[in-house]
Structure 1
Amino acid sequence: MRAHLMQSILSVCSGRKLTGSTVIEEVVRHAGVSRGTFYTYFDSLDEAVIQLAFELAEEMTAGIGALDDVINDPVLRTAVGFQTFLMRALMDANWGAFIIHLDLLDENALVATGVRGNIRRGIEAGEFNVESVDTAADLLMGAKHEAIRRIIAGQHDPAFIHSMTSMVLRAFGLSSWKADKIVAEAYALLCREAPAKLGWWQPIDGPGGDAPAKG
């Protein structure tokens, strides 16, 4: 029941202003339960939203960590992590709207730590040519944020995700050829590993669904 309520909160609260009791009414109506059932699990809407945000962040961090276990290259890890967030927004618009509305990308320390770690290791490996880890991380997080906005607004083309990932890697100093090669490797790895390791993963159809666009 708690998971069912969480799903209703995600659906109802995505991309909208939270207004206490009014939203709770919509949540319990969406879930098909009583207000009493809601208050059995949560003291308030704010508490429920905070718990949901934390659990979504934990889920994404754990999922990317499971993928990282099969990757040694920090550049490939950067591309996989970036694409993973965008692919989830493509597969679940409510999720994308929720994390953008609450600025969860910026607030999640675990995500930010992982991003900075990969960038730092990419610099040490001589692959990334950036002035500072923090600046590069801000660029990547900003690109991720805006790309998710575009996706939930209707940019339902996986080729857009491939292009955005390539542009970030080129901004970090990779050549166009190498950036596109890494993007292709990252997407192939996701398609191979994600169905077994990411519970939210779904098959992707349409332009760019089978392989990243080149150039």
Structure 2
Amino acid sequence: MTELAFSEPKRSEDHRTRAARTKRTRTRAQILDAVLATYPGESLSSPAVVDDILNVAKLSRATFYKYFTSLEQAVEELGAQLADELTVSYALIYEDLVDPKLRAATGFQLFLSRAAIDRHWGSFVSHAQFLSRDAGTLRQIAMDLNAGIASGDFKISDLDTAIDLIMGAKAEAIRQLTRAPRSRRYIEHMATMILQSLCVSPADAETATRDASERLHLHAPARLTWWQPFD
């Protein structure tokens, strides 16, 4: 009887393919990490360029262009990844929340907490169209506002204007958070004022913000990989 033999070359080829794929994934992540660390540069008048990315990533120009056709493409991909990450963060923190006031206060503080914990993240989202009108984060805000309108917790005459108000507050708060360390209390003050702008009473706004903050700082360390305690 002829004995069948296993094909060792194929097994080695599969190993090489997996190793190459792992290397490509690691290099791509290395480039995007460097984009996050350098974008948008020291100031708006001197934005990051590819050389800045290469210096941080310690990679050649040829390697960069093997993965991305331009810095703009890398920025766009990083923005999409961060948006997906934030969507997952919302889901992990929101999963058992029903009260629209608590949801709104939690979402606002979650976003600003991310910027307080990582100033590079805050700088990137401030300048990479992350806070633009077509950003995915707007869907969550619109859902929370509509839920609050339906429940009677929020009194809003125009939804688009309310969204602009919240996004404008987020953008300015993030700029402040990236310029100098800001306290947890600063973020809570901002969230309370946002709720009051939606016609929530001062007492209810303070209660919702406090409860949301306590819950966020209690559960986030175990649920969010990027979370770091801060005061």
Gaps of 5+ in 2: 1-26
Aligned runs of 1:123-202 on 2, under 5 Å? Answer: 123-202=149-228
Counterparts of 2:133 and 2:225, CA distance in 1: 23
Q: Which residue of 2 aligns with 1:84?
A: 110
2:124 counterpart (82, 98, 103): 98
Whichever residue aligns with residue 166 of structure 2, its letter is L
Counterparts of 1:142 and 1:57, CA distance in 2: 18
Question: Which TM-score applies when normalising by structure 1?
Answer: 0.88
Aligned runs of 1:6-155 on 2, under 5 Å? Answer: 6-15=32-41, 16=43, 23-155=49-181
Cα RMSD of the aligned pairs, angstroms, is 1.9
Percent of pairs with identical residues: 36
3-state SS in 1 of match to 2:131: helix
Q: Offset of 1:197 from its aligned partner?
A: 2.2
Counterparts of 1:121 and 1:109, CA distance in 2: 20
Q: Residue 102 of structure 2 contacts residue 212 of structure 2 at CA under 8 Å; is this kept in 1?
A: yes
Q: Residue 131 of structure 2 contacts residue 171 of structure 2 at CA under 8 Å; is this kept in 1?
A: yes
Counterparts of 2:191 and 2:158, CA distance in 1: 19
Whichever residue aligns with residue 192 of structure 1, its letter is L
CA distances 1:149-208 after superposition (whole Å, capped 9, x unpaired) = 11112152111100000000011111111111101111112112211222211011xxxx
Q: Offset of 1:19 from its aligned partner?
A: 8.3
1:3 counterpart (12, 16, 29): 29
The structure whose Rg is larger is: 2
Counterparts of 1:191 and 1:157, CA distance in 2: 13
Aligned residues: 204
3-state SS in 2 of match to 1:67: helix
Q: Offset of 1:40 from its aligned partner?
A: 2.4
Q: Offset of 1:18 from its aligned partner?
A: 9.4
Counterparts of 1:55 and 1:107, CA distance in 2: 18
Q: Residue 129 of structure 2 contacts residue 135 of structure 2 at CA under 8 Å; is this kept in 1?
A: no
Counterparts of 1:3 and 1:55, CA distance in 2: 11
Whichever residue aligns with residue 41 of structure 1, its letter is Y
Whichever residue aligns with residue 152 of structure 1, its letter is T
CA distances 1:106-129 after superposition (whole Å, capped 9, x unpaired) = 245321111011111101111111
Whichever residue aligns with residue 137 of structure 2, its letter is V
Counterparts of 2:127 and 2:37, CA distance in 1: 13
Whichever residue aligns with residue 162 of structure 1, its letter is E
Gaps of 5+ in 1: 210-215
